[in-house]
Amino acid sequence: MSILLYGMNHESAPLDLRERLVVPEGELVSTVGRLAGAGDVEEGLILSTCNRTEILVHARAASAERTLKSFLLTVGRATPEELERHCYLHTDRDAVRHVFRVASSLDSMIVGEPQILGQVKEAYAAAHAAGSLKTVLDSLLQRAFSVAKRVRTETGIARAPVSIAHAAAARAHEIFGDLSHSAVLVVGAGKMARLAAQHVAADGVGSIRVVNRSYQRAAELARELSGAALSWDRLPGELALADVVIVSTGAPHHIITQDDASRVARHRRGRPIFFIDIAVPRNVDPRVNDLDNVYVYDVDDLKSVAEAGLRERRHEAEAAEQIVERETTAYIDWLRSLEVTPTIVALRSHLHALGAAELERFRSRLGPLTPEQQRALEEFETALMNKILHHPIQALKRSTARPGAGTLVAFLREAFGLDGRGPANRGS
């Protein structure tokens, strides 16, 4: 059995490819359900965010790599060549370490950002809803949540946390400086839109308006931001009035085209407008950035802020990596123990059953026994079998600390006849 993780992230793949492989939130449970029934897959989970799409499985064989590659091709629009160029595969220990690093925000574009742990928990909930988690991956994700908590409480990596939303706000301040007289338009009402708007408005803005397809959700967010809610049909006119436009909807296409932005630019007569597009797939056509006095930043454009954040957190990240490494070892040791535990149980049961059977076979030769004598014989049988079992069981337990436990398990199962083939089950 193997743990495999196959996918791509912001380091390995361009945004254009990542956005084509995003699994919509409403389709995640059904997609994970399909994964759990694919090929050699025993358990499965899919993590799909703006920065990564990763498939995590517990499979019957390492050859499940082919299954994962084929499955990812069904998720979105990508070619086998693109996956070969931009995807990575981690197995067993490396896969466990990667999961812990992702949950702890060590593999994020902005190290220490707080959103990823919530996204991992949402992926875990979707996999549970799909019935695709069993002992191995369920325990792995539970351990990942514990590791993330240790990293955040035992290191300073989350001190003054930053995020994509924080980085977007920093870019807005760089372009406009003081935003106290600027108009902010928020398109979308999800978590990322709210976070970005909160960061942009932290030092004060002239006004905030929220446009969303669901007016009720727009009104809820507008109340949080002390702004005004608007109906979706007001979007074209509001764009011309805004200085900063935060866009983050679940739409799988561009909702602001180059033609839309061109009309806005003409209406503004040279006054700059700044689009923060933190949606994946992107909601603003990238060609909008070609227009004069129109600026567009998407999630990949914020990497410079991410790199600065990494430099500031490097020391704390090193401490976090040590926690991850220790926890990875602990989990792998536990996983290997699962491999030997059934054999230990079977070995104990088998030898004690043999001892009891032999004792019963010779019992008639001993004549009448007192209760004390009977107990003494039973205690003798138990003590003898425990002594015989001691060294094989200790060897099995030691084997969990190193690769190759399966070879010893197979040998002992055959040597003691635990699968009905060994010498112990043949005629005496």
- Active-site residue set: 50
Interaxial angle between packed helices 135-154 and 115-130, expressed in degrees from 0 to 180 and rounded to the nearest 10 = 170
Query: How far apart are alpha carbons 400 and 128 in whole angstroms?
Result: 29
DSSP state of 421: -
128 and 43 Cβ atoms separated by less than 8 Å: no
Coil/strand/helix, residue 250: coil
DSSP 243: S
**Could you tell me how far CA 395 lies from the centroid of its own chain?**
35
d(CA 115, CA 193): 13
Sheet holding 183-187: strands in order across? Answer: 228-230, 207-211, 183-187, 244-247, 273-277, 294-298
Range 90-102 burial, b when 16+ CB lie within 10 A, else e: bbbeebbbbbbbb
How far apart CA 255 and CA 187 sit, in angstroms, is 10
Residue 15 φ/ψ region, left for φ over 0, alpha for ψ in the -120 to 50 degree band, beta for the rest: alpha
H helices, E strands: number in the chain:
15, 10
Which residue reads 């600027």 in tokens? 182
What 3-state class would DSSP assign to 139?
Answer: helix
Nearest CA among 55, 36, 38 for reference residue 46: 55
Q: Report the 10 Å Cβ neighbour count for 385.
A: 19
* Tokens standing for residue 152: 């955040």
Tell me the backbone φ, ψ of residue 308, rounded to 5 degrees: -65, -40
CA distance 419 to 188: 60
Using the structure block, give the residue that is written with the tokens 């976090």. Answer: 320
Instruction: Supply angle C-alpha 404, 91, 14, rounded to 5.
Output: 165
Closest CA to 167 of 25, 268, 283, 312: 312
C-alpha of 151 from chain center: 16
